[in-house]
Amino acid sequence: MKHSRTVAFYTLGCKLNFAETSTIERLFAGQGFCKVDFNSPADVVVINTCTVTSGAEKKCRNIINRAVKQSPGSYVAVVGCYSQLKSDKIAQIPGVDLVLGSGEKFQIFDLARDFRKKGEAAVFSRDISTEKTFSSSYSISGRTRSFLKIQDGCDYFCSYCTIPHARGPSRSAVIDDILFQADEIARSGTKEVVLTGVNIGDFGRRGSGSLLELLEKLQEVKSLERIRLSSIEPDLLSDEIIDLVAAGSRFAHHFHLPLQSGCDTILKKMNRKYSTAHFADRVSRIRERIPEAGIGADVITGFPGETEADFQETVEFIKSCDISYMHVFSYSDRSNTRASKLPEKIVPGEMERRSRILHDIAGEKHREFLKLCSGQVHKVLFEAVNKKGRMYGFTGNYVRVEAPAQQNAVNRIVDVKLLAPGEDGIMKGIIINRFNK
């Protein structure tokens, strides 16, 4: 039976979560539900959760309580990674009606049935340690870019990470299915597709083909204008992938490589699959083939047992690496991980000091990169116009650009001369040609 009820969504965490929320949104639309803003009263509220840090879990709880408070009569469904690991804890929150783990979130209509409050939460969260099913997802809702899920789960079991427990083993989509979805996304008017997953370099595990094969076939999809890779592990970024991105006109010249530590001793304790030398080699290879590439990195500071000498190794290594920007995270102790059992925990004050130092280095790296881009011409996908008549968008190498608004310029890829970065870190630019068709 079709419904004429309202539904609101809230997504926490990664791009993969956003792709999956968008897919759940389409399930509700197909059943006649009308989507409303999260801040508006709704008959049903769906919250897609994250568990990557203790801070993420705290934010999940805050959002759940906020939803219950602003819409006390709403049917509240909490789904995703946090639900997978802490389903009983979520079920105890007053006002929660349904808790779905990672393997159940797309079965919401089968499990919620009539979306009527019963007075206590129903919980569905199976063991996904042997999960083999891959559930396709992509975001598409009037945006200029779409997050297309190509892979899920992870076999790496880094010592600090809960994601393998929350999402199960690595598994992938079938290449032909991805090609069909990418073409469907592009034909909807979306200009950029971002390939996303937990560990996209592992594409093909319990699926088909390899990431290189997928990229070779995706570049043949004529409807696609821009293809961007999300985060990829350094040990899985091959020369062939770098060369393909360098040669292909549709690929964004942007790589994001999780470094996590610039000290080999700490990398081993983290159970990472590469050395600092290998990471540096990947950065050098990218720079050799694509000098203007945007290269990002993730770094965790304050890992248990990280001495001052270890930290200084990380500082010097990062300074020596030709990266463009960096995301800095403070270590977060996660239950049921090997790192949580390690001694020599870093006290919060010291962790904050190290984080500030790394943030300062990250800022300097980004400013240097923007200066190098100044004066260059790049293709920019403009996403929005603000009330002051300025447009905003991103280059292929992931520089955020601001330019004077032009009619019908949003959701167009155009040539822009990059002038100079502003104090806010946004590059000023000016369009130098008419819009691409």
Provide the β-strand partners of residue 99.
78, 123
Which of 114, 97, 99, 103 lies closest to 31, judged by CA? 114
Residues 54, 193 within the same domain = no
For 196, the 3-state DSSP assignment is: strand
Strand partners, 21: none
**pLDDT value of residue 401:** 97
**96, 64 contact by CB (below 8 A):** yes
pLDDT confidence bin for 233, thresholds 50/70/90: very high
Among 54-63, 233-242, 259-268, the minimum mean pLDDT is found in: 54-63
Compute the average pLDDT of residues 150-154. 96
Answer whether 178's CB lies under 8 Å from 145's CB: no
Same domain, 79 and 110: yes
Q: Which domain holds residue 168?
A: 145-373
Query: Do the domain assignments include residue 290?
Result: yes
Polymer length of the chain:
437
pLDDT tops 80 at residue 20: yes
| Residue 89 included in any domain | yes
Do the Cβ atoms of 362 and 326 come closer than 8 Å? yes
What single DSSP character describes residue 269?
A: H
Q: How many domains does the chain have?
A: 3
The string of pLDDT tens digits covering residues 285-318 is 999 999 999 999 999 999 999 999 999 999 999 9
Judgement on whether residues 423 and 320 belong to the same structural domain of the protein: no
pTM of this prediction?
A: 0.93
Q: Which of 373, 395, 415 is the last residue of a domain?
A: 373
Whether 67 and 114 share a structural domain: yes
Residue 15, token pair as written in the block: 């791009």
330 lies in the same domain as 193: yes
Please determine, for residue 193, whether its predicted confidence score (pLDDT) is greater than 80.
yes
174 and 80 share one domain: no
SS3 state at 235: helix
Q: Given the structure tokens 């280059």, which residue do they identify?
A: 395
User: In CATH, what number is assigned to the domain containing residue 216?
Assistant: 3.80.30.20
Token pair for residue 271? 């159970």
The answer as to whether 436 is a domain residue is no
**3-state class of 93 per DSSP?**
coil
CATH of residue 424's domain is 2.40.50.140
What's the whole-number mean pLDDT along residues 369-392? 92
CA distance 332 to 161: 9
Rounded mean pLDDT, 109-133: 92
Q: Tell me what percent of the residues of the chain surpass a pLDDT of 90.
A: 85
> Residue 322: pLDDT above 80?
yes
| E strand segments, 103-159 | 122-124, 145-149, 151-152
Is residue 242 located within the same domain as residue 257?
yes
pLDDT at 40 over 60: yes
Report strand pairing: 377-385 vs 390-395. Answer: antiparallel
pLDDT of residue 1: 43
End-to-end CA separation in angstroms for the chain: 42
Q: What is the CATH number of the domain that holds 101?
A: 3.40.50.12160
pLDDT of 207 > 80? The answer is: no
| Same domain, residue pair 108 and 175 | no
pLDDT exceeds cutoff 70 at 111: yes
Which of 124, 157, 186 delimits the end of a domain?
124
* Residue 66 to residue 79: CA distance in whole angstroms: 16
Q: What is the pLDDT of residue 271?
A: 98
Predicted local confidence at residue 435, as pLDDT = 52
For residue 3, what pLDDT is reported? 47
| C-alpha torsion 291→296→302→307, nearest 10 | -10
Give CA separation, 184 vs 70, 214, 226, in Å: 37, 16, 14
Contact of 133 with 94, CB cutoff 8 Å: no
* CA distances (Å), origin 368, targets 70, 253, 420: 45, 18, 12
141 band by pLDDT with thresholds 50, 70 and 90: low
Q: What does pLDDT average to over the chain?
A: 93
The model's pLDDT over 378-387, given as tens digits with 9 standing for 90+, comes to 999 999 888 7
Distance CA 139, CA 145 (A): 8
- Per-residue confidence band for 53, with pLDDT thresholds at 50, 70 and 90: confident
Least confident of 60-74, 79-93, 130-144, 268-282: 130-144
Contact 46, 97 (CB under 8 A): no
Same domain, 90 and 189: no
Q: Is 360 helix (H, G, I), strand (E, B) or coil?
A: helix
Do the domain assignments include residue 223? yes
What pLDDT shows up at residue 409?
A: 83
Let me know if residue 139 belongs to a domain: no
Same domain, 301 and 184: yes
Residues 6+ positions from 309 with CB-CB distance below 8 Å? none
Residue 31 lies in a domain: yes
Average pLDDT over residues 257-272: 98
Say if strands 122-124 and 145-149 run parallel, antiparallel, or are unpaired. Answer: unpaired
In the structure, what pLDDT confidence band is assigned to residue 142 with cuts at 50, 70 and 90?
low
**Same domain, yes or no: 196 and 229:** yes
Q: Do residue 188 and residue 164 come from a single domain? A: yes
Q: Which of 69, 94, 124 is the last residue of a domain?
A: 124
Residue that is written with structure tokens 């330019």 in the block: 403
pLDDT (tens digit per residue) in 324-352: 999 999 999 998 899 999 999 999 999 99
Helices (H), 169-250: 175-187, 211-218, 239-247
Question: Which H/E stretch holds residue 325?
Answer: strand 325-330
The percent of residues in the chain predicted with pLDDT above 70, rounded, is 98
Nearby residues of 384 by Cβ (< 8 Å), 6 or more positions away? 391, 392, 393, 410
Contact at 8 Å (CB) between 192 and 223?
A: no
Taking CA 273 as the corner, what is the angle to CA 267 and CA 279, rounded to the nearest 5 degrees? 75
DSSP of 271-292: T-SS-HHHHHHHHHHHHHH-TT
Residue 235 within any structural domain of the chain? yes
The angle subtended at Cα 418 by Cα 415 and Cα 424, nearest 5°, is 130
**Which residue in 299, 425, 317, 435 sits closest to 374, CA to CA?**
425
- Establish if 136 belongs to a structural domain: no
